[in-house]
Chains A and B, each alone.
Chain A
Amino acid sequence: MAEQPYIGRKEKAPDRVAFVSGRAHFSSDFAFEGQLHAHIIRSPHAAAKIRSVDLSGALKVSGVKIAIDGAGAAEHLDPIPHHIDPIVFGGRTTDLFCLAQDHTRYFGEPVAVVVATDKRTAQYAASRVVVDYEPTASVTDADLALKDDAPLVVLGWDDNSIMQVPFCGGDAEAAFKDADHIVKTQVRVHRQATQPIETRTYNAIWDEGGQSITLYASAQNPHPMRFALAKTLRMPENRLRVIAPSMGGAFGLKMHSHPEEALICLLAKLTKGAVKWTENREECLLIGGREQTHDIEFALREDGRILAIRDHFLANAGAPGATPGWGMAFLTGLTMPGPYDVGNLDVWANIVVTNKPPWSACRGFGKEITALALELCMDKAARELGLDPVEIRNRNFISSNDFPKKTATGLIYDSGDYAGALAKTVESIGYYDVKRNQEKWRGEGKYIGVGLGYEVTPEGGALPGTMVAGYDTSTVKVDPGGSVTILTGVTDPGGGNRIGIAQIVADELGVAIEAIRVLQGDTQTCPYGFGNYSGRSLIVGGGSAALAAQDIKEKIVKVAAALMEVEEGSIKIYRGVVTSSAKPESELSFNEVCYAAYTRAYDVAACIEQPLEATRTFKPGLISHLPDEQGKINPYPSYSNAAYAAVCEIDPGTGVVKLLKFAVTHDCGKAINPVLVEGQACGAVAFGIGGMMGEEIVFDEGGRQKTRNFEDYVMPRAADVPEIVMKHHDSPNPVTFMGLKGAGEAGVGGSAAAVVNAVNDALAHLGVEINDLPVTAPRIWSAIQKAQSAQKAAES
């Protein structure tokens, strides 16, 4: 292997100056000649018949170019292709349109749109659109949606279930019969949302000459988005270009098949101009996820070994949407039983539609809920059996000797050392110090608790028959002047994978990183790729760029050997300098060799095929889409994992939780750039903390969303997040480039579980346990009050 001056180093973003000086370009920063602006009219009802839409008031406003309703849009648009169609997995499907037509299924559903010369005029004209609604019965609660008399969210379905799907293995029933202990709890996870600080923008420009559209979009998956747009717009893909400039965070929100995408393109086509729409925060908050209720049970042996897990859970996926949101609940079931060696599984997911707005992908993609359910039940088991939470986990972890490990749901885990990672976290957080001193602190009136969480996060997912692909492609080009351009199919939503890809290619080629430029997110220039999701970008973007760089390096070595008249095997390229062990006195610059490769095609460079360009695909192993004898598949090549721990103090008088310490030990296989890995991990921890301590989306009785802005949706601020102690415990993945496992997604569930377990640990002496999330101060206070009055009643 070549020397690696860059891999593993804390390399900084090459374009960092642009970001701190306001010169980076995000989607909403682009404006074109004659730029028009769209404003969307949304349903104020959770469910209603739309009797009529009167656009005339809007059309009379000076500056309005077009106004269109669902019927008008349907003349031009086909249904939006599902990002992941439930029908592929045996579920129910329905056609989804950009604008509601005869009825609306959720609060905030797009009903009509107005385009005008400026934002203010569009907003004003939108207020003059008159929609005649006849509100109908709605249901926002998943339990109620399954009752016989529940209103149907999708007319024509038999009930409100997208699918009921088993994730079973072994013989759970027998194991539950034989168990010494059965521990059960209900874990209720509330609705949350991604909320990157940059909301979505779509700016579509029509080119009359080319009969084509260029769309500037905050898009994680430009190529698949183009496929979906082409279908919806009834245009061929080669007449569409999607450009995803710098993205201000995504976290799943900017995966494709949102209704506004094709709608804005259509408006550009109809106005023959440039039409821009930037989502406002209220609109962004409509797009939720995570809401699930788990009735989870462990069958345990006396020594704490789990014999079987039963978990029948309900997911409230909101109204059907074309984004991949509903699939998150599927993955919650698929990734049971997390890091634990439990062969007997009786897990059923019931994925339910309601009249809440649809889910879209949320960082964790359902895998975080697996961790929450398992880890909260694990701590309950520890309490009931009188075992230490570290000990009970260690007794149940898959052993590091057992990899590759096939789980009861058919996943094949590549590698890991779960007990080793947990041990490091236990040390970082000072776990046993807290345990030793807890009682003493309690005597001083301080309620301090420590909580653990473990999360296995399958990464790099590939679902058959969908645009969720397991592989990706990069092109590496080296110019005659020696500069290097990487064009890759993966996108950078803001985590900085472009830096890691550059590091990998710099080391493969032996050039200075300053010579490299990474270009992403343009369907016209980048190879066909699937973009960013599932922590895949360095695994497949970095992997494919490495392969392409190796192909080019081979050519460069040949030319260098010819120029220096030495054996190829003697050539070494390091930081742009080419040397040969056969002729230590002479050296060439990388740039000189590149120039020769292009300009001396008939003598020294006759040995290669020009140009110095290569396109390669990295297709990780381990993914298996051929069902095994039980019909199970393994959609992931890679199983990153991490151990989390939190220490908190609770003020019993107010229920206010203060996080005192936080620690993570992460196994991402190999850290190409520790700054990137740690950045991702710390961000995920803040997501986990926020989700448990403040973030919650709520609705009124009529199904109207009450959470409208950041006053209502309280995300963590700097003072809410403690310093995070980060350690690495990497076990390389044998089937990926350099052992990478992915680092972009993991941690929301493990850190959330650590917070909840710490809270429950701090309150355990009161007999208080809260698995109905979030664990906000008012809930904690109420639980303490309840426990204290029960205690008083028992005493008297």
Chain B
Amino acid sequence: MSLRVQYARPLNVDQTVALLGELSSGAVIIAGGQELMPFINYGRVSPSVLVDISGLKDLQNIETSDDGLSIGALTVHRDIQINPLINEIAPLLAHAALQIGGGRQVHNQGTIGGNIVAMHPLYDIIPALLVLDAEIEITSQQGSRIVSMADLINESNHKMGTHAVLTRVLIGNSPAGQGWGYEKLKITDGCYGSANAAATVCLAEDGQVQSVRLAIGAVTEKILNLSEDLATFLPASPDADLDSRIAGIVESAVEQPLSDQQGHGEYRRAMAGVVARKAFHQALDMARQDMALRERM
């Protein structure tokens, strides 16, 4: 660890990435601090340079366009929860942000960007973004590029390197009639999740399940993106057979389950199936309600 820490408070993204481009790998970006500060406090992480982006206003706004939502990486969880645009276009994300632990204090200070780059298996944002097919804007000195959330979790060090900064989260408009669900299993209120599932469901006119997107958190080191695995047997009718197929796919996808205070491996695998079914049914019910509503109109 080091005693001296160099500090910069860049004025904008350009300055941030210009600085990052110049610095060696000891530089660490800090914003809300919710992820990093516990490690700094206990001397477990000791950055030689802190780049404080907490003041970058252009990363704190939420915008819409014809393509959907663009959320600044420094948007705090509380704003994700209550923002009308997010609640209209991506209510699943608003709901997932409500599930984040630590209480209101953490919701007021933690940022969506920080939650993503932590790549923590127990956190709630990434499963939601995966099923929303979200994209991430990453900016470096070379410019900005867009990476899908699905690709991002497959890469070590979130494909960003130490010279780039996560700048925006992009979420496309949902297909009409899409239902969503989010299920988090906590064994007590103070626990982190033992298993989390985010799901979306689209129905065909005949009530068949057209598409299911599903992501499972808190069960394996890497958050599981199972949308493609489920696509193989769709469309299908939403019956018990589909249920057990979903649970089967989920449980077999859990190769090396986590084992910690939130539960042992066998439990985590089984709970992955439980939350997957619950999230799927929440999404299915919502899609059906939506369809019934449209038929009445």
Q: Which residue of B lies closest to A656 (CB)?
A: B187
Given the interface contacts A712-B261, A777-B263, A778-B264, does A694 sit within 8 Å of B3 by beta carbon?
Answer: no
Contact B188 A716 (CB under 8 A): yes
Contact A61 B3 (CB under 8 A): yes
Secondary structure call for the B interface: loop
Interface residues on chain B, size class? 20 to 34
How far is it, in angstroms, between the C-alpha of A698 and the C-alpha of B259 when the chains are bound? 12
Contact A719 B189 (CB under 8 A): yes
Q: Is A26 an interface residue (CB 8 A)?
A: no
Q: Is A22 an interface residue (CB 8 A)?
A: no
- Stretch from B75-83, B125-133, B139-147, B267-275 at the A interface: B267-275
Of the residues A124, A282, A707, A778, contact of B42 by C-beta under 8 Å? A282
Report B150 CB to chain A, min CB distance, Å.
28
Residue among A696, A714, A718 with the highest chain B CB neighbour number at 10 A: A714
The 0/1 profile, CB within 8 Å of B marked 1, for residues 533-565 of chain A is 000000000000000000000000000000000
User: Chain A residues near B42 (CB, 8 Å)?
Assistant: 280, 282
Which residues, 1 to 20 on B, are CB-close (under 8 Å) to A? 1-3
How far is it, in angstroms, between the C-alpha of A778 and the C-alpha of B266 when the chains are bound? 9
Contact B1 A127 (CB under 8 A): yes
How far is it, in angstroms, between the C-alpha of A714 and the C-alpha of B189 when the chains are bound? 9
How far is it, in angstroms, between the C-alpha of A717 and the C-alpha of B192 when the chains are bound? 13
Q: Which residue of B lies closest to A710 (CB)?
A: B190
Report A660 CB to chain B, min CB distance, Å.
15
How far is it, in angstroms, between the C-alpha of A591 and the C-alpha of B285 when the chains are bound? 76
Q: Is A788 an interface residue (CB 8 A)?
A: no
The 0/1 profile, CB within 8 Å of B marked 1, for residues 115-141 of chain A is 000001101100100000000000000
Contact B274 A778 (CB under 8 A): no
How far is it, in angstroms, between the C-alpha of A546 and the C-alpha of B266 when the chains are bound? 60
Of the residues A714, A718, A719, A781, contact of B270 by C-beta under 8 Å? A781
Q: Is A653 an interface residue (CB 8 A)?
A: yes
Contact A696 B261 (CB under 8 A): yes
Contact A714 B194 (CB under 8 A): no
Q: Is B43 an interface residue (CB 8 A)?
A: yes
Q: Is A629 an interface residue (CB 8 A)?
A: no
Q: Is B230 an interface residue (CB 8 A)?
A: no
User: Chain A residues near B188 (CB, 8 Å)?
Assistant: 693-694, 714, 716-717, 720
Of the residues A717, A777, A785, contact of B194 by C-beta under 8 Å? A777
The 0/1 profile, CB within 8 Å of A marked 1, for residues 189-224 of chain B is 111101000000000000000000000000000000
Q: Which residue of B lies closest to A281 (CB)?
A: B42
Contact B43 A778 (CB under 8 A): no
Of the residues B43, B190, B263, B264, contact of A720 by C-beta under 8 Å? B190
Q: Is B185 an interface residue (CB 8 A)?
A: yes
Contact A714 B190 (CB under 8 A): yes
The 0/1 profile, CB within 8 Å of A marked 1, for residues 6-44 of chain B is 000000000000000000000000000000001000110
User: Chain A residues near B2 (CB, 8 Å)?
Assistant: 124
Of the residues B3, B185, B190, B266, contact of A715 by C-beta under 8 Å? B190
Which residues, 41 to 63 on B, are CB-close (under 8 Å) to A? 42-43
User: Chain A residues near B263 (CB, 8 Å)?
Assistant: 776-778
Q: Is A782 an interface residue (CB 8 A)?
A: yes
Contact B43 A123 (CB under 8 A): yes
Given the interface contacts A777-B263, A778-B263, A782-B266, does A694 sit within 8 Å of B190 by beta carbon?
Answer: yes
The 0/1 profile, CB within 8 Å of B marked 1, for residues 704-727 of chain A is 000101111011111110000000
How far is it, in angstroms, between the C-alpha of A507 and the C-alpha of B246 when the chains are bound? 71
User: Chain A residues near B3 (CB, 8 Å)?
Assistant: 61, 120-121, 124
How far is it, in angstroms, between the C-alpha of A777 and the C-alpha of B186 when the chains are bound? 9
Contact A776 B187 (CB under 8 A): yes
Q: Is A654 an interface residue (CB 8 A)?
A: yes
User: Chain B residues near A655 (CB, 8 Å)?
Assistant: 187, 267
How far is it, in angstroms, between the C-alpha of A61 and the C-alpha of B3 when the chains are bound? 10
User: Chain B residues near A716 (CB, 8 Å)?
Assistant: 188-190
Contact B192 A778 (CB under 8 A): no
Contact B270 A717 (CB under 8 A): no
How far is it, in angstroms, between the C-alpha of A707 and the C-alpha of B274 when the chains are bound? 27
Contact A778 B187 (CB under 8 A): yes
Contact B267 A711 (CB under 8 A): no
User: Chain A residues near B38 (CB, 8 Å)?
Assistant: 709
Contact B270 A711 (CB under 8 A): no
User: Chain A residues near B1 (CB, 8 Å)?
Assistant: 123-124, 127
How far is it, in angstroms, between the C-alpha of A38 and the C-alpha of B241 when the chains are bound? 63
Report B80 CB to chain A, min CB distance, Å.
22
How far is it, in angstroms, between the C-alpha of A720 and the C-alpha of B186 when the chains are bound? 11
Given the interface contacts A61-B3, A123-B43, A781-B267, does A717 sit within 8 Å of B274 by beta carbon?
Answer: no
Report A112 CB to chain B, min CB distance, Å.
15
User: Chain B residues near A785 (CB, 8 Å)?
Assistant: 270
User: Chain B residues near A719 (CB, 8 Å)?
Assistant: 189
Given the interface contacts A61-B3, A121-B3, A654-B274, does A694 sit within 8 Å of B191 by beta carbon?
Answer: yes
How far is it, in angstroms, between the C-alpha of A717 and the C-alpha of B2 when the chains are bound? 36
Report A626 CB to chain B, min CB distance, Å.
49
Which residues, 102 to 117 on B, are CB-close (under 8 Å) to A? none
How far is it, in angstroms, between the C-alpha of A777 and the C-alpha of B191 when the chains are bound? 11
User: Chain B residues near A720 (CB, 8 Å)?
Assistant: 188-190
Report A719 CB to chain B, min CB distance, Å.
4
Q: Which residue of B lies closest to A39 (CB)?
A: B43
How far is it, in angstroms, between the C-alpha of A712 and the C-alpha of B271 when the chains are bound? 20
Of the residues B185, B260, B261, B270, contact of A656 by C-beta under 8 Å? B185
User: Chain A residues near B190 (CB, 8 Å)?
Assistant: 694, 710, 714-717, 720
Report A635 CB to chain B, min CB distance, Å.
37
Report B110 CB to chain A, min CB distance, Å.
15
The 0/1 profile, CB within 8 Å of A marked 1, for residues 210-252 of chain B is 0000000000000000000000000000000000000000000
Contact A694 B192 (CB under 8 A): no
Q: Which residue of A lies closest to B268 (CB)?
A: A778
Residue among A120, A280, A696, A778 with the highest chain B CB neighbour number at 10 A: A778
How far is it, in angstroms, between the C-alpha of A778 and the C-alpha of B270 when the chains are bound? 10
How far is it, in angstroms, between the C-alpha of A588 and the C-alpha of B261 when the chains are bound? 67
User: Chain B residues near A712 (CB, 8 Å)?
Assistant: 260-261
User: Chain A residues near B260 (CB, 8 Å)?
Assistant: 712
Of the residues B187, B189, B192, B266, contact of A777 by C-beta under 8 Å? B187
User: Chain A residues near B274 (CB, 8 Å)?
Assistant: 653-654
Q: Which residue of A lies closest to B43 (CB)?
A: A123
Contact A717 B266 (CB under 8 A): no
Residue among A710, A711, A712 with the highest chain B CB neighbour number at 10 A: A711
How far is it, in angstroms, between the C-alpha of A712 and the C-alpha of B261 when the chains are bound? 6
How far is it, in angstroms, between the C-alpha of A719 and the C-alpha of B38 when the chains are bound? 25
Q: Which residue of A lies closest to B185 (CB)?
A: A654
Report A57 CB to chain B, min CB distance, Å.
12
How far is it, in angstroms, between the C-alpha of A135 and the C-alpha of B270 when the chains are bound? 39
User: Chain B residues near A714 (CB, 8 Å)?
Assistant: 188, 190-191, 261
The 0/1 profile, CB within 8 Å of A marked 1, for residues 271-285 of chain B is 100100000000000
Contact B187 A717 (CB under 8 A): no
Q: Which residue of A lies closest to B271 (CB)?
A: A654
- Additional A-B contacts beyond A712-B260, A777-B263 (6; CB < 8 A): A121-B3, A124-B1, A280-B42, A654-B274, A720-B188, A778-B194
- Listed A/B pairs (23) with beta-carbon separation below 8 Å: A61-B3, A123-B1, A123-B43, A124-B3, A656-B185, A694-B187, A696-B261, A710-B190, A711-B192, A711-B261, A712-B260, A714-B190, A716-B188, A717-B189, A719-B189, A720-B188, A777-B267, A778-B187, A778-B263, A778-B264, A778-B267, A782-B264, A782-B266
B interface residues, Cβ below 8 angstroms from A: 1-3, 38, 42-43, 185, 187-192, 194, 260-261, 263-264, 266-267, 270-271, 274
A interface residues, Cβ below 8 angstroms from B: 61, 120-121, 123-124, 127, 280, 282, 653-656, 693-694, 696, 698, 707, 709-712, 714-720, 776-778, 781-782, 785
Identify the 7 closest CB pairs spanning chains A and B, nearest first.
A777-B187, A778-B263, A719-B189, A778-B267, A717-B189, A124-B3, A717-B190
